[in-house]
Amino acid sequence: MQKPSHHGGKNISCELTRAPLAFDYQATTPCAEEVVEAMAPYWSDHWGTPSSRQHRLGLTASAAVSVARKQLAECLAITPERIVFTSGATEANNLALLGRARACGRGHLISVASEHHAVLDPLRQLEREGFSVSLLQPGRDGLLDPKQLEDAVSSDTILVSVMAANNEIGVLQPLSALAAICQANNIAFHCDAAQAFGHIPLQPDALGLDLVSLSAHKLYGPKGIGALIVKDGISLTPLQWGGGQEQDLRAGTVPTPLVVGFAAAARLALADQESRAVRLRGLRDRLWAGLKQNLPQIQLNGPLEPRLPHNLNITAPGINGSRLHRALRPQLQCSSGSACSRGEPSHVLRAIGRSTKDAEASLRLSLGRTTTAGEIDEAIQLITSAIHALSP
């Protein structure tokens, strides 16, 4: 058997292949170096729990959490006391929906059929508990018409939940108009803002939001930490008990390093939010223009505006979706929908009128902080070649 050739002590038959282009930043983001540095002391040197204030280790951790809570509050233009730290936006959504409904005891809830499963699934649970739920159909543009909400409100409506930015097609819902309807009817308004915070301006009070769910790992922060913002006077029933942390709304040890990382990521995101949005919007539009020029048959899901600046979602009609994704996978990381979609055709795309087949033949392309014009041009060529090769 022939031995592999060697040069300079290295096996030249084992050359490293280049990593696929990353175009799935809405699923998650890498932890920024500044965030990792901010968290570092609290994994080992300052390893105390913030609940133990009888000694220096605990006091140091408690102080770090307090500072981080204040920093995050400043990013949202709210008071620190309104922040309830959770394990992520999924838990925050559950606390908002289940917690609010159970505190009210009975009633009617309204949401949108294109919401994330972290909203839809808790609503199904509330239906099993005897609450009534209305899921409104968005328009073909993915947006909810405020008139739809106005017509759906009834005398027993206790909560409305509408996400800020859709996690698949990136469209931005008219939150202020929807909030005005809720305020006029004395209804609590919840917003899943996991995809929005850090990428577009988001101040809960200015928008009229009562409950807001956030996630750190969508904005270059650590996984495993999020928050629910609770307006004063909104009562919630906790989902778990056992320690009294987070104002008795979320029992369990507060993870100091993750909280510090969340605040660092939020401050970092807001520092370049405007300039980053301009740059990524330009790259996103370049991607769409290039694809549309090469592939006139492709279709955009949702309007180009109002949309997250780093999102593009397209459908290639008549193409086998499984084969398309299989062809792209070695060279381009993207998705056909939410990272939490369980491999099923996108319920978001079906909600805006796409067939199951077309939903499967769709690509969610999301750009990140380090995406370059060169990568955009390369992605255009990769997608163009894949679709041409699969075209009947």
CB 190 within 8 A of CB 213: yes
Instruction: Tell whether omega for the bond before 306 is within 30 degrees of 0, i.e. cis.
Output: yes
Catalytic residue among 75, 182, 191, 340: 340
Neighbours of 180 (CB within 10 A): 16
DSSP assigned state of 249: T
Strand ordering across the sheet containing 299-300: 299-300, 311-315, 362-366
Cα maximum dimension of the chain? 81
Neighbours of 43 (CB within 10 A): 10
CB 308 within 8 A of CB 170: yes
CA distances from 80 to 30, 70, 84 (A): 26, 5, 9
| CA 241 – CA 239 distance, rounded (Å) | 7
Beta strands in the chain (DSSP E): 6-7, 10-11, 21-22, 83-86, 108-112, 132-136, 157-161, 188-192, 211-215, 226-230, 299-300, 311-315, 332-333, 362-366
CA distances from 149 to 1, 145, 154, 178, 343 (A): 73, 7, 10, 7, 31
196-218 exposure pattern, b = at least 16 Cβ within 10 A, e = fewer: bbbbbebebeebbbbbbbbbbbb
CB 34 within 8 A of CB 268: yes
Place of tokens 């004395």: 186
Neighbours of 251 (CB within 10 A): 14
Burial of 26 (C-beta count, 10 Å sphere; 0-12/13-18/19+): buried
Is 104 annotated as catalytic?
no
Known catalytic residues are 340
